[in-house]
Every structure is written in C-alpha cells, then in structure tokens.
Amino acid sequence: MTSERLIHLVAHRGNAAEYPENTLPAFQSALELGVRFLELDVHLSRDGIPMVIHDHLLLRTTGLPGSVFDHDAADLARLEASEPQRFGDRYSGLKVPALREVLGFLAGRPEITLFIDIKQASLIQFGHDHVVSQVLEVTRPWRSQCVLISSDLAAIHRARRLGDAPIGWGLTEYDNHSRLKYEALQPQFLFCDHRKLPAGERLWQGPWRWVIYDVATLPLAMNLAERGADYVGTMAVREMSNALRGLRTAQ
C-alpha cells in the first residue's frame, strides 16, 4: 500500500465530530486541519435556493419541527443548525448555510474540491431537472472544483446532460446490478459506505475513483486503500488527519 492513497481524506459534512454537521465552522475546521476535500448535502428551500443540510426534516439539526420545504431561504438562514440533541447549547447561534456561502471557501483555494450530495427528498419534492439546474447555476463560478453526487441515478444523468461538472454516484448496494449501471454511466467518482462492501474483496476497478465513507480508524483506512479505495470519508477529521500524518512521518 502506498501512502499516496491515504492522503485523500474527505471531510464528511465537514469536521462533524467536533462541530454541528454541514455548518460553516465544521468546514472551516476541516480546512484548517489540512483537508482538501469537503462533502456536504443539499436540499432546496421552498423558494428554490440550495441550502446545506442533510435531513429535509429540521428536528435533528435545528430542534424544530417541520421541513426545509416549508421555508424560504431567508427563513432557513435564521434557523440555528446547532444539533441541540448532540451538543446542547454549545453552538447556539450557528445557522443553516446556503450552498453559496460554503462555496466562498473555494475562493483563492484551487486545491479544494467540494463534493455536493443532492438529496433524494428534494428531487421528489421539486423534480430532478429543477433541483439539478439550481445547483448547477449556483456552482457555475466554481465548476472546476465541484463534483455533483447523488444516490439517485436519474439526478446524476441530468447533471451530466445539463452541465460539465464531474459527477459521482452514491451506491445504495454493492452488487452486480449496480456494477452494470455505473459501468454504463462511467462517473468520475463512486461513493459507498464501507459496511456495504464484501469483506476482503478488491474494489471493482474502472475509470472512476472510489470514495469509501464512514471511516473512523486508521486500520480500516489502510485496509480500504489496499483494496483500491482512493479516498476515505470521515466525520472524525482531526483524529484521522493526525493518524494519517503520523503514518506519513513514520514512512
């Protein structure tokens, strides 16, 4: 195994172990820790603005009832996204960011790549063409640094048809049926939870690059790299960054 594979660490929803997920401080912390690849989730607000939040239901991240789809972007921007069940009032005041705000981290940082996960609930609510078009429009100035991803295959097809951004497909199952689909699609990236992978097998090889997520330990990252993973996604950004840095120093 080469250390080159292990340097590709993706901050899954930012440094979400230490900060509320998908918030500006979570992304800022990941960048300060030296991570060059960020992943976030997008839903559209009622008025069609891409907002950075994983669940369309607001309860887990804001402590409030209702859905993203019930609010215009201006209203959502006033809601606290402090994950009160996890952090209490420690991060009171953090807001739900718009995608445009997070894209600001890319200014003057050409080495940063942003993986933008378009969530299925928004696709159902607003339609594939509308959602993908809105995300493509907001990311246009940063197109070379953005990768549009989704577990919804139709959304990825539309992203390819409507724009020139790289695409990634999030696998819901690692099986031969999925393999036929992505071999036909030829996405630049494939995302998969490590728990869905068959134990010990080498990952299917192709022109795509593998991003295996929910990785929280160095031994698991090393094992995945040996099997062909190019990136590992984690919320435990500080711990994984330090572990990989220590590995490189020891080599």
Q: What local confidence, expressed as pLDDT, does residue 3 receive?
A: 42
Q: Residues 155, 177, 41, CA angle at the centre, nearest 5°?
A: 30
Q: What local confidence, expressed as pLDDT, does residue 248 receive?
A: 73
Q: Which helix or strand (DSSP H or E) is residue 241 part of?
A: helix 237-250
Kind of pairing between the strands at 37-44 and 167-170 = unpaired
Which residues are the active-site residues? Answer: 12, 54
CATH number of the domain bearing residue 110:
3.20.20.190
The number of domains in the chain is 1
Q: What local confidence, expressed as pLDDT, does residue 2 receive?
A: 43
Q: What local confidence, expressed as pLDDT, does residue 127 receive?
A: 97
Which one, of 116, 119, 121, 171, lies nearest residue 148 by Cα?
A: 116
Q: What local confidence, expressed as pLDDT, does residue 6 receive?
A: 52
Domain extent, residue 51, equals: 3-250
Token readout for 69 is: 């789809």
Per-residue pLDDT tens digits of the chain, which is 251 residues long: 444 455 689 999 999 999 999 999 999 999 999 999 999 999 999 999 999 999 999 999 999 999 999 999 999 999 999 999 999 999 999 999 999 999 999 999 999 999 999 999 999 999 999 999 999 999 999 999 999 999 999 999 999 998 888 999 999 999 998 889 888 889 999 999 999 999 989 999 999 999 999 999 999 999 999 999 999 999 999 999 999 888 877 76
Token readout for 131 is: 């959602």
